[in-house]
Amino acid sequence: MNTLTKDGRVNVDNGSNHVSKFAKKIEITRSASDLRRRYQEVRALSERLCEPLETEDYVIQTMPEASPTKWHLAHTSWFFETFLLEPNISNYQSAHPQYNYLFNSYYNAVGPFHCRPKRGLLSRPTVREVYEYRKYVDALMVELIDHADARKLDSLEPRITLGLNHEQQHQELLLTDLKHVFSENPLRPTYRQRGIAKVNPVPPVTWFRFEEGIHSIGHGGSGFRYDNEEPLHRVLTNSFLLSSRLVTNGEYLAFMRDGGYQRPELWLSLGWNVVREKGWQAPLYWEKQICDWRTMTLAGMRDLCLEEPVCHVSFFEADAYARWSGARLPSEEEWEIAVSGVPVEGNFVDNEVYHPAPLDSQTADPAQMFGDVWEWTRSPYSPYPGYAPVPGALGEYNGKFMCNQFVLRGGSCATSKSHIRPTYRNFFPPDARWQFSGLRLAKDVK
């Protein structure tokens, strides 16, 4: 075990490692500095995303599924504290004895936790205290990394990488939750101003054909992945067609004008219930103004851009649109087959646009597979054949949510580019709309 000295520095316990530390010095330094740099970059992005915020914006929770910004900032730090600092520093002193209770999200194995829908009822710790908490954790994490020898680094690296990916997920949620906070406010605050670009017509849809066959699905290589992407396994799929691009606002508007939200035959039974109970008439954040639609973006209220990919639709709406258009949603396996060889490039959070962008021109591959909007698939979120969660608290990360959710693929304008992969499985309940979620069509080959 490492030790936390009285002046707050870490004595890293490098285990029974008796080889000459000097001999490996250079190599260690390079690996440690790389890890430290990655750590600091990801952690810094969380704070950079908060730069436009007022203190008050950090505190609000506008629905049970969302969390206050300051909770995201604290929870991601708690993750490093709980899964890195505590197990690796002897006599580790937490920044505050109740932070474990307050900032544990759902890990039953780590103890009781504060009820999720009550996260917005806490004025303390203050935003300043949360940033101090981050600093406290960051200082110790950097020490932990810097004082680890090679063998130690090898054991730390996977968990730190998990923690960084975890933080990237919360960065996306931070933006989508904040967008929801702003949407509840009649003042319609703006996150970041952005100019309105000139938009070209969107290329018409063409269909890419993929042949029947046995394909390998899931992650089998090296590099980071969540356990839900494993194991690599083979599936037999029929031939299918996949649309060359995402469905646009203009196309979705045609569905609406054709009575899309009034025709039960287009909807799953549960979806139709939701439409009526919640009075859905359009995607989330669309607002009708006399006869024109406007939409709330992180850059403020905008006229609806018909060329942009439709966004903030639920699985139910995506599925109804697909049925209306005579097509269907792709399965997650089909999506993964189609993306094989397509480079991971697109409109990610790194672009600092925070909104899906119209397609400029069609490429040789299906376009917009990565970034812009998460694409709903028709696949319920289920374990892959042979899936087994990792043991311990981290096994609660994915597996226990494999029920009543649907898989989304490809990342969005709020996702970090370094976070996404062809095998990445995102998942949300079928009525969730506050993510940057859209759709692409598929068809059977008759």
Binding site for its own copies (CB under 8 A): 54-60, 62, 70, 98, 101-102, 106, 108-109, 114, 118, 120-127, 181, 184-187, 189, 214, 233-238, 264-265, 267-272, 378-380, 382-383, 385-386, 395-396, 400-404, 430, 444
Nearer to its own copies, 62 or 88 (CB): 62
Q: Which is nearer to its own copies, 168 or 379 (CB)?
A: 379
Q: Provide, rounded to whole angstroms, the least separation between the CB of residue 190 and its own copies.
A: 10
Minimum distance from residue 328 beta carbon to its own copies (Å)? 9
d(CA 87, CA 233): 34
Q: In the complex with its own copies, which residue's Cβ is closer, 70 or 152?
A: 70
Q: Which is nearer to its own copies, 235 or 342 (CB)?
A: 235
Residue with Cβ nearer its own copies (12 or 60):
60
Minimum gap (Å) between residue 282 Cβ and its own copies: 21
Q: What are phi and psi of 96, to 5 degrees?
A: -160, 135
What is the Cα–Cα distance from 97 to 115, expressed in whole angstroms?
18
Residues 428 and 46: their CA atoms lie apart, in Å, by: 22
Nearest to its own copies of 258, 444 (CB atom): 444
**Rounded least distance, CB 279 to its own copies, Å:** 14
To 5 degrees, how large is the angle CA 91–CA 92–CA 97? 115
Residue closer to its own copies, measured from CB, 209 or 234: 234
Do strands 374-380 and 406-409 pair parallel, antiparallel, or not at all (unpaired)?
A: antiparallel
CB closer to its own copies out of 224 and 401: 401
| Minimum distance of its own copies from residue 417's CB (angstroms) | 29
Smallest distance from the beta carbon of 233 to its own copies, in angstroms? 7
Give min distance, CB of 319 to its own copies, in A.
8
Rounded least distance, CB 211 to its own copies, Å: 14
- Nearest partner of 256 among 210, 325, 346, judged by Cα: 325
Query: CB under 8 Å, gap of 24 or more: what pairs does 47-55 form?
Result: 47/73, 47/131, 47/134, 49/171, 49/174, 49/175, 49/349, 50/174, 52/191, 52/192, 53/178, 55/127
